Structure 1
Amino acid sequence: MTAKPPRAKPLPVEDRRAMLIDATLPLLLEHGNAVTTRQIADRAGIAEGTIFRAFDSKDDLIDAVVARQVDPEPFRRRLRGIDTTLPLEERITAIVALMRNRFTTVFSLMSVIGHRGPHPSDDSRREFAEIIARILAPDLDRLTVSAERAAQVIRMLTLAASVPHVRNGPEFDDAEIAALILHGIDGIPAPGPMTTGPTRAETSLPASAPATDSTLIPALP
């Protein structure tokens, strides 16, 4: 009589949770909150009831998917891994590539399920600026702005290029965004430091000027 192969050991709860989060993200992007636990189970290759051994409800699972995507630390680790010996243009392009991936995924998720999760703190923004300062440190004397201001510009332009209804036109690739950040549209460095106050155009906007829906644009990182 042929012996039956031993049954596979059940996954630890944390591993099962991670596997379900991985399986659920693409389904959420496709179906939004209408995704079913049956679809999630089929994608994960498990019985539907197995989901509830890891999460109390579908909403708990969705919250876990969102929490992973908005968690800034994995993104920060990748930023810290950028080689500071690369040419400045390549470092900026690497920053942009990481930010675009983060913005695009989180914005796509929020656009189909609505805003969920906490807003980032001032400490989170400061940490981002400090990381960018370290990446740019070898070339700060080339820049016409402070490292903190450079971090703001990088984030602002990358966000605008990543959100379709803000971009309102053809997509930009990472190198093009990096070139715009470094050289603008005329390729000539700015003649002096940028001011931190409002521009003339900003101060002349009417009170009724339309605003972008801030509930859908993630305040990242």
Structure 2
Amino acid sequence: MSVKPARAKALSVEDRQSMILDAVTPLLIEHGQTVTTRQIAQCAGIAEGTIFRAFDSKDNLLRAAMDRQLDPEPFRLELAALDRELPLEERVRAMVSLLRRRFAQVFALMTAVGSMGRPHTHDVAHEFTVLLADVLAPDLLRLTVAPERSGQVIRMIALAASVPHITAGPDFDDDELTALILYGIIGFPTPPNAPC
């Protein structure tokens, strides 16, 4: 007598939606809005009909995927969780890395899909700058500019370095950007009364 394998536990609607959204994001970057529900189903390892039970339509699925990727809250939590006990250089590198990953993902999606998600109604850029300033605050005495201004500079440089047609040359890595942010292109300024 053979024993039937136990059926996998049924997923909740939210878990099924999350699984489908995980599968669709890389496909959106690759195919844009021309991605098919068949491709999505194959990538998620589900039947195509499951997509429509979870999202009603392909448009609703694509909108939900964009909303999820553009939602600033998970990124805000990552920034807020940065360890203030790390040396300044490591904190700045972590900020650069997180910002570049976020910008690259958003630009890739916007390039592939266009504007589909709900626009944010508050100033997310300012909130992120304030968060970056908070991460820098333990080293206030080492900074030559206010933490919020430093956060703004870090954000601008990470943003510019995440857009290929702005960099227009070899890619920057996170270590190089961190060094440029912290030490500039000439290192520490020479004091006015230093011997030549």
Q: Do the two structures share a fold, i.e. TM-score over 0.5?
A: yes
> 8 Å contact 1:129–1:147 — kept in the other structure?
no
Q: Structure 1-normalised TM-score?
A: 0.81
Amino acid corresponding to residue 30 of structure 2 in structure 1? E
Structure 1 range deviating more: 177-186 or 100-109: 177-186
Distance 1:189 1:36 in 2: 56
2:10 maps to which residue?
Answer: 10
Deviation for aligned residue 1:98: 0.4
1:77 maps to which residue?
Answer: 77
Distance 1:36 1:122 in 2: 33
Q: What secondary structure, in the 3-state scheme, does the structure 1 residue paired with 2:55 have? A: coil
Structure showing greater relative contact order (alpha-carbon pairs closer than 8 Å, 6 or more residues apart): 1
Distance 1:11 1:77 in 2: 27
1:208 maps to which residue?
Answer: none
Distance 2:123 2:163 in 1: 24
Deviation for aligned residue 1:184: 1.4
1:141 maps to which residue?
Answer: 141
Q: How does 1:8-157 map to 2 (within 5 A)?
A: 8-157=8-157
Count of residue pairs the alignment pairs up: 191
Deviation string, structure 1 residues 83-137 (Cα, Å, up to 9, x no partner): 1111111110000000111011110111011122244444433322222122111
Deviation for aligned residue 1:4: 2.8
Q: Structure 2-normalised TM-score?
A: 0.90
Deviation string, structure 1 residues 61-97 (Cα, Å, up to 9, x no partner): 1111111111111111111221111111111000000
Distance 2:183 2:67 in 1: 36
Deviation for aligned residue 1:190: 9.8
Distance 1:189 1:114 in 2: 44
Deviation string, structure 1 residues 132-155 (Cα, Å, up to 9, x no partner): 122111111222221221111111
Identity %: 60
Deviation for aligned residue 1:6: 3.7
Q: How does 1:196-215 map to 2 (within 5 A)?
A: none
> 8 Å contact 1:144–1:190 — kept in the other structure?
no
Which structure 2 residue ranges, 5 or more long, are not aligned?
Answer: 192-196
Distance 1:142 1:131 in 2: 18
Distance 2:148 2:122 in 1: 13
2:184 maps to which residue?
Answer: 184
Distance 1:60 1:144 in 2: 48
Deviation for aligned residue 1:7: 2.8
- The structure richer in helix per residue is 2
- Alpha-carbon RMSD across the aligned residues, in angstroms, is 1.8
Distance 1:179 1:6 in 2: 55
> 8 Å contact 1:55–1:61 — kept in the other structure?
yes
